[in-house]
Every structure is written in C-alpha cells, then in structure tokens.
Amino acid sequence: MTPRGRRVACEGDIITLRGRNDVLRRRRATSMAFVMSVGPVAGRVHSGPMANPLAPRHGRVVRALGEALFHHPGGPRPEQLDTLTSRYAEHLAAVSGTLRFLLLASLDVVRWLPLILVPAPKPFESLTVAVRGRLLERLERSRIVALVLLFVAHKTLLSMIFFEDPEELRAMGYPGDAERRTWLRLAPKLPR
C-alpha cells in the first residue's frame, strides 16, 4: 500500500496503480511521470506515458521555436533541433494531462500568432528565421500578460533542453564537470 491508500503492482517495467473507484493507471518505472500521488480519474485507463504527444504540427512549431530562439551563426544544427523536439515530446509525455493540454494549446496559439502580430497569412513555422525572431521579441515585450507567460513557458522548457547539450555548454564557456570539481577541491583550502 502506498501512503495514500493506492495498491501498487509491478509487472516487469510497468507499474500499475489501483486507486479509488478501481481506476488503473500504468506508468513505466523509469519514466518521470511515475509519481505515487496519482489520483483517480473515473472511467479512464492509462497504459503508460504517451509515446509521442506532439502532433506533426506541434513538432514543426517546437522546431521552429528552437531555431528562432537559439539562432546563431553556427547553428543550431538540424540534429540539435531534432533532439530538442524529441526531448520536448518526452517532457510532455511525463506531465499531467491538464498541463499537456495547456502546452499543446499554447503551441497552437504560437503557430497562428503571425496572423495577429505580423500581418502574414502563414503559420509560425513557415516564416523566415529573422521574422520569427522579431515576432518572438514582440511577444516577449507584449503588454498582454497571457502572451508573455506563454512565451516564457516555452522559452524556459526549450532552454533547459537545448543547453543540456555538452557542445553548447562548451560554446558558452562552461568548463565541464571535471574543471568545475577542481574548484570544489580548492574551496576547503581557501582562507576564511
């Protein structure tokens, strides 16, 4: 029994939680989505985290957002954008249904934002990188708080994913874990 009275059964790497109303929730044991505080959802059976919660249109928007946010003379490379999109999908698979819905809906808003902010009859991913960059700058400085929050949510998540790449960390001047540990060894010897 878990602290909240749910029964847990383990079959291989799939964990089944049985809560009130005999509702099953299944999660992969290695997934970030596995939490013990799963509440019952009447009439629904979940069979693990979603394989890929991104529809093709959402994947194109995430890729275009990443390209516009992290554009620099040497990149981002197509492999980095592919990794960014797949890691974003992994994060979405691990969050609650409500948050997933809100993030996907906000991607749809970003997709059609050019119709409002830039008089262009094209979706976000069809614009050039320069136009996308200007659109994101306008979005960041918007007086409409909901639009700013929408931008900040995606920028934060995409930045965390993008800058996990060791090459990007080196390009920013991060020395790496080995060099960082040198400072930790020197710290006890410093005068106090």
Per-residue pLDDT tens over the stretch 35-73: 333 333 333 334 445 567 889 999 999 999 999 999 988
Spatial contact of 163 and 86, defined as CB atoms under 8 Å apart = no
Same domain, 119 and 67: yes
> In the chain, at which residue ranges do the beta strands (DSSP E only) sit?
7-11, 14-18, 24-28, 46-47
Domain coverage including residue 14: 7-47
Spatial contact of 70 and 165, defined as CB atoms under 8 Å apart = no
Query: Residue 17 has what pLDDT?
Result: 52
49 φ/ψ angles, rounded to the nearest 5 degrees: -65, 155
In the chain, which stretches have pLDDT less than 50?
1-3, 5-15, 20-24, 27-48
Domain count, the chain: 2
Same domain, 25 and 101: no
The answer as to whether 107 is a domain residue is yes
Q: What does R_g of the chain's alpha carbons equal in angstroms?
A: 21
| Cβ-proximal residues to 161 (8 Å cutoff; 6+ apart), any chain | 83, 84, 87, 88, 91
Question: Angle of helix 129-140 relative to helix 56-69, nearest 10 degrees?
Answer: 80
* CB atoms near residue 132 (< 10 Å): 22
Angstrom distance (rounded) from CA 26 to CA 36: 11
Same domain, 99 and 43: no
Query: Residue 45 has what pLDDT?
Result: 36
Query: Residue 23 has what pLDDT?
Result: 44
Q: Is the pTM of this model over 0.95?
A: no
